[in-house]
Amino acid sequence: MLSHYVLRASLRSRSNGLLSQLPPSIEHCVDQIWPNSHRNFHASSLVEASSSSTRWKKRQSTDSYAREAKVQGLKSRAAFKLLEIDAKYRIFKKGQTVVDLGYAPGSWSQVAVERTKPGGRIVGIDIIPAQPPKGVSTIQGNFLSSEVREVVKRFLSDPDRGRPKIQETFDISQPVVKPTPSYIDLERHLDDNHKEDQIKLEGDPQGTEKVMVAEKEKSRKAEDRVMGRMVDVVLSDMSAPWDQTTGFWKRSLSDPYIRMMNTSGISFKDHAGSMDLCAAALQFGFDTLKTGGHFVVKFYQGSEDKQLEVQLKRLFGSVHREKPDSSRSESKEAYFVALRRKHNVNRESVLGTNQIT
């Protein structure tokens, strides 16, 4: 069997017009194993991939955001886009549950972990195998699959699953077991609270209104729990990945870039693909976001993004288009930042009848 290295040498010779330098016996074997048309096509693909990789490396070396990301230990320069969005809209709070769709290589998840400390829960989903950042729970799978979405929802249904445990500290000078109040003490405490509420209501004309608002808030939270809406923020920086054709020998967990897509160069294809991913992310957000939750999604600009904006405005209190400074000027990417999910919005009015199943 002809070795892999001889095949590669033959391929390079063919692509450079140096076929005559190979011995006839080797060339005959190559023709039998690998037809000429297939060999030439693969050679051109390798040349294109090599030149594209060289351009990407050159651009990264002169990119200030890429250099700064490396200095700060961030997975990629994309972290600065989310940092800019959060600085403007304050989407993160301590203790939140955040879902990062298309998390690889993990820079957005890194930002979410830092901004939701302590007690925050970050869950990342991606089809590409990648090493999760510290403090992030991840699920590998195709998010367009209904089975994968159900797995994510089951994971989120337990409010403590994936949430870092806060270590409690004990003061040895204090008794470990606290005295349990008696039944009479509890009844007296309830009476005292009731009297205080009555005094507040009588002395404050708006007290009744405040109590009603608090009761409504409780009922909304209860409804969210019943409906399985337990997420505070949904992030989507998804792009359709390239099919993996080479680099199977690489440690892909630490180098997911081999399959991450910038753009195909065909604007309509990139736009249409991003709209499908946005639709899947919006449907997931509708099912899992709490009332008052936020939604940040990347899209490639085109004719259909206005329709997506209309859908978002039906579900959220305010919707903003953003093109962060850290996003490359030549890129068609942009972001919708949708804030404060509304209560009791009809599903079909947002998602229509063509929902992803």
Contact 142, 127 (CB under 8 A): yes
Read off the tokens for 325. 């400074």
DSSP string, 137-173: EEEES-TTSHHHHHHHHHHHHSTTTTPPPPPP---TT
DSSP string, 62-74: T-HHHHHHHHTT-
Listed in sequence order, the residues at least 6 apart from 204 whose beta carbon sits closer than 8 Å to its beta carbon are: 210
Q: What is the Cα–Cα distance from 226 to 231, expressed in whole angstroms?
A: 13
β-strands 231-236, 289-300: how paired?
parallel
Residue 156 to residues 94, 149, 230, Cα–Cα distance (Å): 18, 11, 7
Catalytic residue among 298, 313, 323, 342: 298
- Tell me which residue has tokens 């830092």: 114
Determine if residue 61 is left, alpha or beta; phi over 0 gives left, psi from -120 to 50 gives alpha, anything else beta: alpha
From 170, 137, 176, 145, select the one nearest 284 (Cα to Cα). 145
Is residue 269 annotated as a catalytic residue, yes or no? no
Contact 287, 228 (CB under 8 A): yes
- Tell me which residue has tokens 């708006």: 206
- Tell me which residue has tokens 């990417």: 333
Q: Which helix (H) or strand (E) holds 299?
A: strand 289-300
Q: What is the Cα–Cα distance from 103 to 105, expressed in whole angstroms?
A: 6
Read off the tokens for 21. 């330098």
* Residues with catalytic function: 298
